[in-house]
Amino acid sequence: MRSLHALLITLAAALCGGDALAEQRFPPPDFSPGYSMPVTEAQGAPARDDARGYIDAAALAAALALASYLALGRRSRRGLVVLGIASLAYFGFYRHGCICPIGAIQNVVLAIADSGYALPLTAAIFFALPLLFTLFFGRAFCAAVCPLGAIQDIVLVSPVAVPGWLARALGLVPFVYLGAAVLLVAMGSTFLICRYDPFVGFFRLSAGLDLTIFGASLLVIGVFVGRPYCRFLCPYGALLGLVSRLSWRRVRITPAECIQCRLCEDSCPFGAITTPSPETPPARRAGKTALALTLLALPVVIGLGALAGRALSPAFAHTHATIRLAERVWLEDAGRVDGTTDQSDAFRATGLSTDDLYLAAGAVRAGFDTGTTLLGAFVGLVIGATLLRISLRRKRTEYEADPALCVACGRCYRYCPVEIDRRKKLEQAEGRAEQDDGSA
């Protein structure tokens, strides 16, 4: 015990006398020859498993190809469901929903905004591959590759139609979400999409209570409303919707000529089926006036959006750690708050000047001022473009899937009598082939 006290006193002396940050308070021992010192790196540096990323990328490519084939070539809803479950199991539960194309948007933005960050190859593949597939084959990714889509598709048992006007309006939300996520990543605030991923907590089987409630609510809603996250939130879905307008091949409800039987009319739980244009000619004049007015209103809407965005700059800026730290330090120095936080303590321990912190925060704020203005203008543009689209009439002659909304789930196929007919013939042909085989 005596030696213990002596040691404690030495310790106290070392503590009081020395700089708090100083290292090597005690000299390294002079061991007798027998001792060999363990190697830190050998003990504590397990390597990354780099192969996993490439396996994931390969799995993604394979799943996309298969999904495209099942949706467009085979026209098999059952196949898509099975593939969806497999994707949910692998990309979702096995790989914990990470990495996913939705989140990869942010990596791409970060790579553009931050020169110190290089885009990982897997992230690039995950971001680009579904877009390229969509460009050629429509949103097969959403149908059966995306684990978030798959989990929602599975729970959709009792679809209720969302009124067209409501779906139109809510369909704008993903663009706002996309813009906000891009802004926050570019400014270095947070990875919004990952942070509020509703299902990743399920995939990991551990999540905070708030996100569990969010995810569970989406699933409960998803029992009645088809894929609420995909349609009304998913920022990657917004991108895919844009790209799929240009797609080379896409889902056609009927395999041949539409016989206008109207059986498929209510078959789509996502409201993606558009009806043929009415026979009676519309009032062209009124349509033209509305179009002209919308065109005139477009700059106004964009301007209003920019103003609104600028007004939101302080709120957005508060998502940034530097702004929050600067505010906390300022409040503490101004005597407006009690005590200190770990953050402000850590900042003061660095010995950096508060002036530098405030100036850094000022630079961040200036970035947000520009960024939120652009974001607001972008949202205004999206609203304006949507209004414009509504005002534009296109002549449609048959029941078809709106390329932007259709997620290629294949539900409508089984409602089409032409398809049923085709399938019967196919089965008969296969049966005949089997019989032939048997007899041979």
Partner 1 sequence: MEAHDRSLFAALRSDVRAATRTALVTGAFVAITAAALVAYHLKGGAEEFIDSAEIAAMKSALAADPADDALKLRIQERDLAIREAYFARIERLDRGIYLLLGGLIAFVAALAWAASAASARRAAPVPGSTEPTAAAEARATLSSRWSIAALAVIAAGLGAAWTSRGDLAFLDQAVTAIEEAKAPPVFAPPDEVRKHWPRFRGPDGLGVSAYLNVPSSWNGASGEGILWKTEVPISADNSPVVWGNRVFLSGATRTRREVYCFDTATGALRWTGKVERIPGSRNGPEDIMEDTGYAAPTVATCGRRVYAIFANADLAAFDFDGARVWARNLGVPENHYGYASSLIVYRHLLIVSYDQATPEDNRSKFLALDTRNGKTVWEAIRPVSASWDTPIVITHEGADQLITCSNPLVIAYAPETGTELWRAECLNGDVAPSPVYAGGLVLTVNTGAQLSAIKPDGSGDVTETHIAWFAEDGLPDIVSPAATDDFVYLLTTDGLLTCYETKTGTKAYEQDIALMFNASPSIAGDKLYLISTKGVAIVLQIGPAYKELGRAELGEGVNASPAFQDGRIYIRGKKHLYCMGTR
Partner 2 sequence: MADHETKPIPRRGFMRAAARAACALGIGGGAAYLIAPRAPGERVWQIDPAKCIACGNCATYCVLRESAVKCVHSFAMCGYCELCTGFFNPAPNDLTTAAENVLCPTGAIVRRFVEDPYFEYTIDRDLCIGCGKCVKGCTMFGNSSLYLQVGHDRCLNCNQCSIAAACPAEAWVRVPAARPYLWKKVT
Cβ count near 234 (within 10 Å): 25
Q: Which of 96, 168, 245, 422 binds partner 1 (CB under 8 A)?
A: 168
Among 80, 140, 374, 387, the residue binding partner 1 under the rule CB under 8 A is 387
Contacts of 289 (CB under 8 A, 6+ apart): none
Q: How far is CA 271 from the centre of its chain?
A: 21
Q: Rounded to whole angstroms, what are the CA distances from 65 to 79, 100, 146, 339?
A: 13, 17, 13, 58
Among 308, 398, 422, 423, binds partner 1 (CB under 8 A): 308
Interface residue with partner 1 among 383, 401, 408, 416 (CB under 8 A) is 383
Nearer to partner 1, 143 or 219 (CB): 219
Q: Does 356 bind partner 2 (CB under 8 A)?
A: no
Choose, by CB under 8 A, the member of 3, 36, 40, 158 that binds partner 1: 158
User: From partner 1, partner 2, none, which one binds at residue 142 (CB under 5 to 8 Å depending on kind)?
Assistant: none
Contact 390, 346 (CB under 8 A): no
Which of 193, 237, 194, 262 lies closest to 418 in space, CA to CA?
262
| Least distance (Å) between residue 307 CB and partner 2 | 30
Cα 410 to Cα 82: distance, rounded to the nearest angstrom: 12
* Contact call for residue 417 and partner 2 (CB under 8 A): no
Q: What is the distance between the alpha carbons of residues 315 and 319, in angstroms, rounded to a whole number?
A: 7
Own/partner contacts of 337-343, CB < 8 Å, gap of 24 or more, are none
Beta strands at 400-401 and 273-274: parallel, antiparallel or unpaired: antiparallel
Distance between CA atoms of residues 381 and 246, nearest Å? 20
CB 208 within 8 A of CB 195: no
Q: Residues 6 or more apart from 103 whose CB is under 8 A from it?
A: 191, 193, 194, 197
Among 107, 313, 372, 373, binds partner 2 (CB under 8 A): 107
Crossing angle of the two packed helices 173-186 and 354-391, in degrees rounded to 10: 160
35 touching partner 2, by CB under 8 A = yes
Binding residue for partner 2 (CB under 8 A) from 139, 227, 231, 252? 252
Query: Among partner 2, partner 1, none, what binds residue 7 when CB lies within 5 to 8 Å by partner kind?
Result: partner 2
In the region spanning residues 238 to 267, those forming contacts with partner 1, defined by CB under 8 A, are 261-263, 265-267
Residue from 19, 165, 350, 436 in contact with partner 1 (CB under 8 A) = 165
Residue with smaller CB distance to partner 2, 346 or 433: 346
Phi-psi region of 262 (alpha: psi -120 to 50; beta: other; left: phi over 0): left
Which span (9-17, 167-175, 227-235, 277-285) binds partner 2, by CB under 8 A?
9-17
Residue nearer to partner 2 on the CB measure, 169 or 321:
321
Q: How far apart are CA 353 and CA 356, in angstroms?
A: 5
Per CB under 8 A, the list member of 61, 86, 223, 418 interacting with partner 1 is: 223
Taking CB within 5 to 8 Å according to partner kind, which of partner 2, partner 1, none is near residue 362? partner 1
Task: Report the nearest approach of partner 1 to the CB of residue 250 (Å).
Answer: 22
Site for partner 2 in 279-338 (CB under 8 A): 321
46 is a site residue for partner 2 (CB under 8 A): yes
Q: Which of 61, 312, 402, 423 binds partner 1 (CB under 8 A)?
A: 312
Residue type, 323: I
The dihedral sign for the CA sequence 142, 147, 150, 155? negative
Q: Where are the alpha helices (DSSP H) in 158-283?
A: 164-170, 173-186, 192-195, 200-204, 209-224, 228-232, 235-244
Tell me: does residue 361 bind partner 1 (CB under 8 A).
yes
- Binding of residue 176 to partner 1 (CB under 8 A): yes
Q: How many CB atoms lie within 10 A of CB 73?
A: 10
* 7 lies in the binding site for partner 1 (CB under 8 A): no
Residue 267 CA to its chain's centroid (Å): 27
Out of 118, 128, 169, 426, which residue is the one contacting partner 1 (CB under 8 A)?
A: 169
Q: Helices then strands (H, E): number in the chain?
A: 21, 2
Q: Please report how close the Cβ of residue 193 comes to partner 2 at its closest, in angstroms.
A: 8
What is the token pair recorded at 215?
């995810």
Q: Interface residues for partner 2 in 328-347 (CB under 8 A)? A: 341-343, 345-346
In the chain, what is the straight-line distance between the N-terminal and C-terminal CA atoms, in Å? 95
> Which CB sits closer to partner 2, 227 or 347?
347
Is 221 near partner 1 (CB under 8 A)? no
φ, ψ of residue 154 to 5 degrees: the values are -70, -40
Indicate which single residue of 275, 289, 343, 428 sits in contact with partner 1 (rule: CB under 8 A). Answer: 275
Among 61, 113, 155, 298, binds partner 1 (CB under 8 A): 155
- Binding to partner 2, residues 118-157 (CB under 8 A): 118-121, 124-125, 127-128, 131-132, 135-136
Q: Which is nearer to partner 2, 39 or 286 (CB)?
A: 39
Pick one of 77, 96, 168, 414: the residue that binds partner 2 (CB under 8 A).
Answer: 96
